[in-house]
Structures are given as C-alpha cells and as structure tokens.
Chain A
Amino acid sequence: MTAVTVPTAVTGPAAASAADPADELLALHRAGRLAAAYPTLKSLLARLPEEDSVRAAQLLSRVGPDEVLHEHPGLPALTVAVTGHGTLSALVPALALEGARHGIVLRTVVSDFDSYVFDLTDPDSALYAAAPDLVLCLLDPVIVMDELPTPWRPEDVEAVLAEKTALLDALTARFAGSGSGTLVLNTMPLPRVLASQLIDHRSRARLGAVWREANARLLRLTETHPELVVLDLDPLAAEGVAVTDPRLSVYAKAHLSSAMLSRYAREAGHLARIVAGQTKKCLAVDLDQTLWGGVLGDDGADGIEVAESPRGEAFRAFQKVLKQLASQGVLLAAVSKNDLAPVREVVAGHPGMTLREADFVRFAVNWRPKHENLKELAEDLNLAVESVVFVDDSPYECGLVRHELPGVSVVPLDEEPARHVEKLLRDGWFDVRELTVEDRARPALYRVEAERKDFLHSFDSLQDYLRELGVRVRIGPVEEREMPRTAQLTLRTNQFNLTTRRLQAAEVKELAAGPDTRVLAVHAGDRFGENGLVGVVFTRREGATVHIDNFLLSCRVFARGIEQTALAAVLRQARADGAREVLATYRASAKNAKVRDFYPQNGFVPVTDADGELVFRHDLASVPPVPDHVQLTESCEGNTP
C-alpha cells in the first residue's frame, strides 16, 4: 500500500498511514483498484470512522457496478431505483457506500426531479423498465408545504395530507400491479419551522395531531400492501439527524439534508441485505465487559457488575436487548475465553442476570482462539459463518476475527457499556420483512438440535442413529398462512437452495395459485419434536414435462434423508400425474456449491451446462424409494395443477 497525502484543508493534519482506512480507500481509488478490491472493502469500511464517510461515499460512487461484477461475477447485485420529490443526488454516493459495506453491488437508477407520481403511475415508465429490486420513493415535508395557501391554517394542512396519503395509497396499488420487487416509502417528520408558524398552542397541537395521523396512515399502508416497506424517519430525526438543511432546500431543492439521506441510505442498505438474502442469524457475544462488567475469572461471580450499580444497570439494559432479539429468533451464543463451569453457574444462578441458559443456543466458552470457536459454532448450527454477528469489547479479538473470518460482521464495543445497545442495533443485522411463528421458535429448535447431536454420539453409525431418530416428512401444497414463511425460506436459505430464486410472499402466492405451477411445502419432525416448515419445492408443468424450478431446505435439517424423501415424493407424484420426465435446474451461487450434485446423486442425468446453470433430467423409469428411516405423508393428491 502506498502512502498518500491528503489535503490538509479538508482532513486536518496529513498523518497518512497505510493502516488508516480512509487513506487505504484513497490509495485504491488512485490506483484504479476499487472494483478489483470490492470484496475486501467490507472489512475496510467496517473500520472507517463516521467523519470520513462522506468522502468515502464519493469515491465509491465512481466505481461502476458493471466493472465490479466483471471482476467478481459471484457478488450479489441489486437494481435500486430512486425517485421522489426534490433533489436526491446526495443519496447516490451514500447508497454506493452502504452497498460496499455489505458487499452488495447496487445499480442505482435515479429518476428525474420530482417525478415519483409519473414514475409509479405509468407502467411504461423508465422506473418500471429498469425492473428494480428496490424502489426508494423519498418523501419530504415540502411535498405538503408547497401546496399550502398563504396564510394557512391546520385544516389546510390536514386537507393536503389527506390528498397525499390517498395518492400514495393509489400509487402503491399501481406499483403492485406494474412492478415486482419492494417499494419503500418513508414518513415525513414535522418541521419545527412549520409548527412554530402557528403562534397559539391549541392550533399547533392540532397540526401535530393531523401530521402524525397522516404518517400513521402511511405506516399502516404496509398492512394491506405486502410489497411495501415504510421507513419511519422520526426515530432517525430523534437521534439528532437534521431532517432539512434550509440552504440546500431553498437553493438546490434538496429537501432532505445530506445527513438524513446518508442515514436513510443506511436503512436502505439493511433492506438491500434482506432482499439479497443476507440476513444474519446468529449473534455471538463475548461475556466479560460485554455482557457483564468486570472479569469473571478475576472478580468472581459476586464481583461482576450485572444489575444494581450504575455500570451494572448498563449491562442489564444490554442483556434485556439481547433477550428481546433472541425472543424473535436470533440465535444467541456466548463466545468467551473463560472456564465453562463458573460461566454456567452465573447464567444459572446469579440473581442479577437477565439472560438465562435457555436464552442461549450454545456456550463456546474455552481458551481457544475466538475465530476457531466461531467457525465451529457456525458448523454446529449448520449455518454459513457469514450469518454470524460477533460482539466483543476487545479490539484484539475484534481485529483477529475480522482478519481470520472476513465474512463475519463484527460489532466492536468499548469500555462504555451505556453505548453497547446503540452499537449493537446500529446496523439492523437481523432485520426481516415479517416474523413468522417458526422464527420465534427457532432458538428452542436449535437447542433441541444440540440434544440431537449428543444423541447421535451414542450411536455407532449414522444409519442406526437415523433409524432411532424417527424422521417424519409431510409434503403438500403450501397453505395461505404459510406464504410468509415460504417467502422467507427463499430469502434466508443460501446453502441448500438449488437456484437461489428469492421471492416475496405475493410472488409465492401467485405461483401457488397458477394453473401450471405448484409450491410444495415440506414439513418435518422427529422424536425430539416438530421442525415445522423446513423446505419448499417449486414445480411447473409443461406438457409431459415437470420442471423443478427451485428446491430448498432449511440448513437446520440437512442430511437426514428429508431432501431425498421430498424429491422422491415429487418424482412419484409427477409419474402418477402422467408426466414423462422431470427437468431440474441448479444455478451456482456463492453459497450453494454443496448441493451441486444433489440431482445427479438422486438418479438425474446432466442435460445442459451453461453459465453456472446446470439442467438435469429424470426419465421417471425408476423412481427412487423414500429412505427407509423416514416416514412420509403426502397431501399432493387432489390438487393437480
């Protein structure tokens, strides 16, 4: 890395060093290597101080998405359309930064100034033509202010708001009919310069009420429009992000401040992660100075700060947030250099602890390097290590994990526990579109999984084990109430996902209702309990051919015969329905190499192989049997497409 000189006027003393992430980024830019280095930017940007983000965003916005994809064809890529009211140019570099932070290539298409109504209304608009995965339609308070008479009264504001929310409702409906992907609207924070133009408190209160009612109507649109996300800007404004910059608003018609657009871009980045199927699943936390104050090995169980003291309160608050996340399906694991026995005692019996044994899926508590523990943890949970978020107060441990496992997202804490909560929640690591029953039950399922593993160790062979496990599989058309979970499986499953086709609930519904398409839900259970809806098979009938367009299975339940059973059921059904062949597709992604041979291992023969897409054929002459340790129930019958 060559050292670079940075203009002092902008960055202060030019203390250039290769270790400084801003300088590293500049050197890459100057060398024209940002596209080539794109996959490494994730860990570089994780170290970038907030104050350098404006410059970093500018440099990253110069990198063409095509150039990055040419160098790294396997990276996830999304098209993001930006439309709205006002000048939104500051959003483009901010989005480029967020894309790079998450290792997702974003193609950003910006509409003309103030064209959102046209963009969303006209099915032939350039916006729909770009087939965006995400449509960011930015709303600002000036939309309302521009239409007020002079002078105005709260009733005038109420009337304009009524008209605008009705318009947005209609535009969202148009979007559902004309585009695919996700539409993103936002609430409009009430500007003080509007409220304080009313000098009497009664009118001001009325204005506040009608304004909030309109924002509430916007938020409620998500109840009836599954493809819509509404970002609430009020909490961002409450963090101290200025909503508007009066000079930019007047002179450049940029009605949201650059700071607010950057903050908005961060939220959009989290949505991009969801759409690209990169949601994190496991939260691995350090213990000493992270979960409690002090060092258990030195201070003893009575000496750690975990409740009734000023610092103890901070740690208690942090534990409550972890419990809250775990209750929504985040897999919480302890990864700590400690002796296991005293840790178990604290978790089981310390009166001040909020988190208890049942809140954790694993205790990786030993004296081995943390990256090894994290790798093993991911393997034990059948997760890719990229789906782990690691939280630690030690810069050494954070640095080591970043270096050894660049795919793991690291949240560095420091000696101020009162800031632990905001640091953990800063990046919406675990955000999902919608929470399902399975999500809430997930930690318990993974704990049972640990018991299954222990049970496995008591058998001489895997076959003996599987026979005793008593696996049950039920396969049949997906039911209405299972649509969100089915969509979520397509979004979250990365490894056992044969074509990685991501679907929203509305698209699943459409396929399930189609005359020639079927969405088959795979449920499983065993002697330890029910696993729930763990897999989906998407099929399509075309004459005498049945296509398997996608086949996916939750990583929790691989390799117990469930996948062979589901495939056998599909083949059996195809033959019973009079089909003459089944064609199945495998499309390579960064994560699904382990299922490349799934079809050929189960009686299919290769037909074509082009651009990472393999097509296999089964002639249905001899349909493979259901593995003898599995009990299968089918409900395909009577619902022939």
Chain B
Amino acid sequence: MNSIDDFITLVRDDLGLSVDDTDVDRPLGEVAGWDSVHLIALLTLLERGTGRSLSLPAALEATTLRGLYDVAVSG
C-alpha cells in the first residue's frame, strides 16, 4: 500500500464501504456506512496485507480514515 488512494480502495473493495477521497478527513462517525465494528476487520486485513503488526490503541484513537492510514503506514 503506497498511498492514501490505495487505502481508500482497500476500504471500498475489502470492507465493501462506498467511500471516496472526499471521505479521508471526515470524522469517522460521518463516513457513510462506517461503524466502529469495521475497525477490527480493517486492522485484520491491513496486518495481513502489510505483514506487520499495527498498534491497536493508536488505531482506536484515530478519528478519520486518514488517521487510520497513518497508523497503517507508520505501524
């Protein structure tokens, strides 16, 4: 995963949510279809994809998709 666009594609095609690049800085609660339950599934997919262990506490504190992307790329 090289860019936030790849990340958005993943949220769209692997979680099945209809998001686009206008959603990256929107508070998660306002992203259509987003539910906190998606977080675990997203992290599982990200860890499987990147082969790295990510920080769950950091991910739980993220408030936007960009925040989650930052956790994903920084580990």
Contact = CB atoms under 8 A, between A and B. Distances in A.
A55 B56 contact: no
Interface in A221-253: 247-248, 251-252
Contact of A258 (B14, B40, B56, B60): B40
A258 B45 CA distance: 11
B60 A58 contact: no
A292 to B, nearest CB: 40
Interface stretch (A85-93, A489-497, A516-524): A85-93
Interface in A1-49: 4, 6-7, 9-11, 26, 29-30
Q: Looking at chain B, what size class is its interface with the partner chain?
A: 20 to 34
A10 B37 contact: no
Nearest to B17: A62
B48 to A, nearest CB: 7
Interface string B23-60: 00000000001011101110011101110000011001
A28 to B, nearest CB: 11
A588 interface: no
Interface string A252-266: 101000100000000
A405 interface: no
A288 to B, nearest CB: 39
Contact of B56 (A4, A30, A62, A248): A248
B13 A6 contact: yes
B49 A9 contact: yes
A11 B57 CA distance: 25
A641 to B, nearest CB: 50
Contacts of B48: 10, 54
A61 interface: yes
B20 interface: no
B70 interface: no
B6 A251 contact: no
Contacts of B57: 251
A55 B45 contact: yes
For chain B, what secondary structure do more than half of its interface residues adopt (helix, strand, loop), or is it mixed?
helix
B9 interface: yes
B19 to A, nearest CB: 12
A59 B2 CA distance: 23
A58 B56 contact: no
B45 A251 contact: no
Nearest to B51: A9
A258 B37 contact: no
Nearest to B42: A58
A90 B38 CA distance: 8
Contact of B41 (A6, A11, A54, A251): A54
Nearest to B6: A7
A58 B49 CA distance: 15
A196 to B, nearest CB: 23
A254 B56 CA distance: 13
A108 to B, nearest CB: 12
A58 B60 CA distance: 20
A7 B16 contact: no
For chain A, what secondary structure do more than half of its interface residues adopt (helix, strand, loop), or is it mixed?
helix
B51 to A, nearest CB: 10
A248 B40 contact: yes
Interface string A464-481: 000000000000000000
Contacts of A59: 13-14, 16
Contacts of A62: 16-17, 33
A93 B49 contact: no
B9 A93 contact: no
B9 A7 contact: yes
Contacts of A4: 13
Contacts of A55: 13-14, 45
B26 to A, nearest CB: 19
B41 A9 contact: no
Contact of B15 (A9, A58, A248, A254): A58
A29 B16 CA distance: 8
B41 A58 contact: yes
A9 B40 contact: no
B59 to A, nearest CB: 9
B13 A7 contact: yes
A65 to B, nearest CB: 15
Given A10-B45, A92-B37, A252 B56 contact: yes
A523 B42 CA distance: 56
B40 A252 contact: yes
Nearest to A32: B18
A11 B56 CA distance: 22
Contacts of A29: 13, 16
A75 B26 CA distance: 39
> Most chain-A CB neighbours within 10 Å: which of B13, B15, B60?
B13
Contacts of A247: 56
Interface string A363-403: 00000000000000000000000000000000000000000
Contact of A26 (B13, B41, B45): B13
A353 B10 CA distance: 52
Contacts of A7: 1, 6, 9-10, 13-14, 49
B45 to A, nearest CB: 6
Given A54-B41, A252-B60, 6 more contacts: A7-B49, A26-B13, A54-B44, A62-B17, A89-B37, A251-B60
8 contacts: A9-B6, A9-B10, A10-B14, A10-B46, A54-B48, A61-B16, A62-B33, A90-B40
Across the A-B interface, give the 8 residue pairs with the lowest CB-CB distance, nearest first: A89-B37, A9-B1, A10-B49, A62-B16, A59-B16, A251-B56, A9-B49, A55-B14
